[in-house]
Structure 1
Amino acid sequence: MSGSSHTAHTAEAGTGLAIEGHSIDYIPESERHARLSSQGPFWFLGNFHFFTISIGFVGPSLGLSALWTTLAGALGIMFGTLFMAFHGSQGPEMGLPQMIQSRAQFGYRGVVLALLATLFVFVGFNVVNVSLIMGGLHNVFGLPPVPVACAVIAVGALLSIYGHDLMHKAFKWALMLTLPLYALVTLALLFGAGQGDAPAAEPSSLGFSWVAFATQFAIAASYNISYAPYVSDYSRYLPKNTSRTKLIAAVFLGASLSGAWMIGLGAWLAELLQASDALVALDRVGSSLFPGLGHVLVLVSVVGFLPVIALNTYSAMLTLLTGVDSVRRITPTPRARVLSILVITLVLLACVLSIRGSGISILNTFLVLMLYFLVPWTAVNLVDYFGVRKGRYAIPHFFTPNGIYGAWQLRGIVAYLVGFVCMIPFFFIYDAAAGEEVFVGPIARMLDGVDVAWLVGLLVSGLTYYLLSRSLDLDAERRVVDAISEADILAMTGHAGEPRP
């Protein structure tokens, strides 16, 4: 970032509502104003919404009972959150967005491979998010889908333009709005609310199958693994001396507790009310308690979900700017951030308006695909951070193709590709709404559709990268790292008014 941009950021920091000055650049320790106490509630709300409720519909749609769906969802969420939480510790230690740090494993230009996978996740998540909102508001209020999509996407874009501080505040407000209402819905469902007008289900219609259990587990795990590329984007303003253990615990507890709660709620809504639309189900439960409460629940749910739309847009912006900068060096000014968000918004709107199908069908297929793309990356990144370089990186060298990480790092690229290719025979992609197999690998077929591709990807990519990294000269890297001071980082990344190397 140029010196003028940095000055603007610090000048506006105390004025309240201001556009964040930083994007893909380093956050100086003097500007690390975030608090550890904000991380738990932030990531609790990250899963505390009707989208996560919809994930609880997947198991029943495959014939899995609510009890088994709740168990599979809780186990999957906790498994996926482990990876997410460990990524979160990288933010305060380096003061960088997640995908900038991935240049150490893939290279200054080679990181584009990982960026394509994560950009697919960020944009894809919002496609599903907006599709669920469009369908729900149309079913409850009869609202036309296109204006709804435009309004939701615009609010998300605006929040992401203002950035980190406003988004943290928006998450806090949304949590205060939604927590009492979702608690009320949970209690009401326990006492049979909303079940009077639900069609009766056959007692034997839902039960247990390993395929459905494994699918629900994988989808729940992928849901929180998908946060892995996000977490340090929102923890990088924490002080460098933030306790790694406390941060990992805060992220894990926040994201896993709300995720398990909402998936369990969705599972019981699906079994007891035969629900296939989370907003419609919330409307039914609320209306059975008090006249008009159902509509209030739906509106509050949508409003409380808008910061999540912004979360995806914000991280997509960081990913897009990182990708552009990896090909042609840019100065990450507020203007660049606004232009990138505008591009992302237009692409998102085009995708939303062109995709056809039910929200639950899109959700199921997308989450499985997302897991396949992200697992090799998260394995490579975490093995490098905790097992190879042990958190020690030369930050200025992330910003030049001529540094110690180079333009291309074949170790990371090969490990990612080898892991992904090894996953293909284990792929099981199923369209629950249509009742059709999209793609089933030969080994998945032998396993009767049990999806263990994600486990294969984690093990193969992680082990491959670890073995390839044994040829790294880590002693030479550490000497470079030890010679770099905070002043060097500020000067070499443009914070002192000098061009980046």
Structure 2
Amino acid sequence: MSHVPNDQTPALTAPPLIETRSIDWVPENERHGKLWHQAPLWFLGNFQYFSIPIGFIGPSLGLSFGWTVLASILGIAVGTVFMAFHASQGPTMGLPQLIQSRAQFGYRGVIVPLLATLFTYMAFNVADTVLLSEGLSGSFGWNPTVIAVLATLAGVVLAIFGHDWLHKAFRILLYVSLPIMTILTIGVITGAAGGSLSGGEYGFTWPAFMAQFAACAAYNITYAPYVSDYSRYLPTTTRARSVIAAVFFGASSSAIWLIILGAWLSIALGATDGLVGLQTAGNSVFARLGDAAALLSALALTATMGMNAYGGMLTVLTTIDSIRPIKPRTTARVVTILALAVAWYAIAASINSGAVATVFSALTLMLYILVPWTATNLVDFFLVRKGHYAITDLFTPKGIYGAWGWQGLTAFAIGLLTEIPFMLLPAVGNWSYVGPVATALGGVDIAWFVGLLTTSVAYLLLSRTIDRGAEEAHLRESNEKLSKTITTD
């Protein structure tokens, strides 16, 4: 699936202190990424505070610990499959994920999934800010406004420095937090953390089980629009199955670990805040263990805010470029990140909902919106075009993919529309929605599955109109241009 001839192996150039690449293609001589960096990055991406309240969702609806664990494992497994397959696109394409989506939606048409993706980044950082403010305030008595400001600034700094520094920050935090969380978990298993799972008010209902399942599936599906942003510096010779395996293991194992821990904190300790519950359990094992675990989990979530800000910046610049072609430099990256930070902080400051409600609402909305995109993108990459794209044509509305990709836009619309009768939206402010089919099903949420199925079938049928012969000629021409670019660099 390589787009660059293998008859030359240009020497790698040293990465700059502050990343200079944004939405442009990464040449082979700048592909300094390492495969082993993927698993730690995505392990810590979920090895933080946001994962814990997801384990509260099932118990808050009356689901028992055992059923919550099963729903969580199945949901994370399903969601991570989609995420991991998107990750394999990075080495092949050397592009941010949403630039690649121009092949399905068109140079300008990609604005539709771009707006959906930008909502995802903003929703995550809004929820992260609420979680950190409430959690650290409850755990240590710190001022929630100060916490929100500092967390936002830290995320901004990491996003500005970019790809390599995000990788480094995640690895350092992982090395420090892993042994502490391991000791705490052993304390939970051995009973040293206290608590009891003998709550008689918990049991099984399909609505509660599917709510837990959907929230967990959404958790890693929401990484799909930017997972390849962090694998695009891998050499084109990197095996797809190796990237898929590394990302799947990293993102799924840590999420399952902390979500199950969250369910235990909710049921056994009656915790209503994940960070406070983590602190209480850890300090019961031995003094200050919980304090350290809570603080490190919060720091990891702050680093994840940097990841979201970085992805949001790429999304905004791609949107602008899709309207009016640009060559963004460092200044554009910095200004965009700062503007996003102001926006998510302002929204977070206006939210009155609790942390668990905010997380559940955000994940549900993100799942509904992103499923039609991920289905369209993966079907195109693996079944229709099979990883072969004319890279240079993705940067012009006059290329082979055109300004508006009607096949992708139609499939996306079909998927989103067919989800509506099945939707079960939790309260967002004073507004909520339950579709007629969801009501008939007794409140069981299968909207995302319906959207996934209808979008995939629709795009497969519509893609038959794509002129693959014409694309092959553009592919050869693109490869020649990219080869010359590497040679001159």
Bigger mean CA deviation after superposition, 286-295 or 315-324: 286-295
Shift of 1:191: 2.3
* Structure 2 unaligned spans of 5+: 1-10
CA distance in 1: counterparts of 2:317 and 2:182, whole angstroms: 39
Shift of 1:139: 0.8
Secondary structure of the 1:13 match is: coil
CA distance in 2: counterparts of 1:443 and 1:302, whole angstroms: 39
Within a 5 Å distance, the mapping from 1:109-124 to structure 2 comes to 109-124=108-123
CA distance in 2: counterparts of 1:437 and 1:395, whole angstroms: 43
Within a 5 Å distance, the mapping from 1:204-215 to structure 2 comes to 204-215=200-211
Query: Structure 1 326/14 Cα, relative in aligned 2: closer, same or farther at 3 Å?
Result: closer
Query: Structure 1 30/293 Cα, relative in aligned 2: closer, same or farther at 3 Å?
Result: same
Corresponding position of 1:309 = 305
CA distance in 2: counterparts of 1:221 and 1:14, whole angstroms: 35
Query: Structure 1 191/457 Cα, relative in aligned 2: closer, same or farther at 3 Å?
Result: same
> Are the aligned partners of 2:126 and 2:344 in contact in 1 as well (CA < 8 Å)?
yes
Within a 5 Å distance, the mapping from 1:321-332 to structure 2 comes to 321-332=317-328
Query: Structure 1 338/76 Cα, relative in aligned 2: closer, same or farther at 3 Å?
Result: same
Shift of 1:13: 3.2
Matched, 1:236 2:232: yes
Corresponding position of 1:195 = 194
Query: Structure 1 273/290 Cα, relative in aligned 2: closer, same or farther at 3 Å?
Result: same
Corresponding position of 1:143 = 142
Shift of 1:431: 4.3
The structure 1 residue matched to 2:400, chosen from 404, 412, 415, is 404
CA distance in 2: counterparts of 1:252 and 1:223, whole angstroms: 13
Corresponding position of 1:426 = 422
Corresponding position of 2:181 = 182
Corresponding position of 1:4 = none
> CA offsets per residue over residues 296-318 of structure 1, 9 Å max, x none?
22222222322211110000000
Corresponding position of 2:346 = 350
Matched, 1:452 2:446: yes
> Are the aligned partners of 2:13 and 2:30 in contact in 1 as well (CA < 8 Å)?
no
Corresponding position of 1:13 = 14
> CA offsets per residue over residues 453-497 of structure 1, 9 Å max, x none?
001100111111111110111121012212333644665x9x969
Shift of 1:194: 3.9
Corresponding position of 2:48 = 49
Corresponding position of 1:88 = 87
CA distance in 1: counterparts of 2:207 and 2:381, whole angstroms: 34
The normalised TM-score by structure 1 is 0.92
Within a 5 Å distance, the mapping from 1:151-190 to structure 2 comes to 151-190=150-189
> Are the aligned partners of 1:174 and 1:305 in contact in 2 as well (CA < 8 Å)?
no
Query: Structure 1 112/490 Cα, relative in aligned 2: closer, same or farther at 3 Å?
Result: farther
Runs of 4+ aligned structure 1 residues displaced above 6 Å come to none
* Structure 1 unaligned spans of 5+: 1-9
Corresponding position of 1:225 = 221
Shift of 1:439: 1.1
Letter in 1 for 2:112: L
CA distance in 2: counterparts of 1:416 and 1:121, whole angstroms: 16
Letter in 2 for 1:481: L
> CA offsets per residue over residues 269-291 of structure 1, 9 Å max, x none?
11100112111011101221223
CA distance in 1: counterparts of 2:40 and 2:198, whole angstroms: 40
Corresponding position of 1:472 = 466
Bigger mean CA deviation after superposition, 278-287 or 368-377: 278-287
CA distance in 2: counterparts of 1:164 and 1:481, whole angstroms: 28
Secondary structure of the 1:20 match is: coil
CA distance in 1: counterparts of 2:228 and 2:329, whole angstroms: 20
> Are the aligned partners of 2:65 and 2:197 in contact in 1 as well (CA < 8 Å)?
no
Corresponding position of 1:107 = 106
The normalised TM-score by structure 2 is 0.94
Shift of 1:233: 0.2
> Are the aligned partners of 1:105 and 1:384 in contact in 2 as well (CA < 8 Å)?
yes
Secondary structure of the 1:411 match is: helix
Query: Structure 1 490/149 Cα, relative in aligned 2: closer, same or farther at 3 Å?
Result: farther
Letter in 1 for 2:470: A
Within a 5 Å distance, the mapping from 1:14-93 to structure 2 comes to 18-93=17-92
CA distance in 2: counterparts of 1:45 and 1:294, whole angstroms: 18
Shift of 1:46: 1.1
Query: Structure 1 285/109 Cα, relative in aligned 2: closer, same or farther at 3 Å?
Result: same
Within a 5 Å distance, the mapping from 1:382-397 to structure 2 comes to 382-397=378-393
Matched, 1:413 2:409: yes
Secondary structure of the 1:485 match is: helix
Corresponding position of 2:336 = 340
CA distance in 1: counterparts of 2:176 and 2:141, whole angstroms: 24
Letter in 1 for 2:258: M
Query: Structure 1 111/202 Cα, relative in aligned 2: closer, same or farther at 3 Å?
Result: same
Bigger mean CA deviation after superposition, 103-112 or 437-446: 437-446
Secondary structure of the 2:425 match is: strand
Corresponding position of 1:3 = none
Shift of 1:12: 8.7
Across the aligned residues of Structure 1 and Structure 2, the Cα RMSD in angstroms comes to 2.0
Corresponding position of 1:97 = 96
CA distance in 2: counterparts of 1:168 and 1:83, whole angstroms: 22
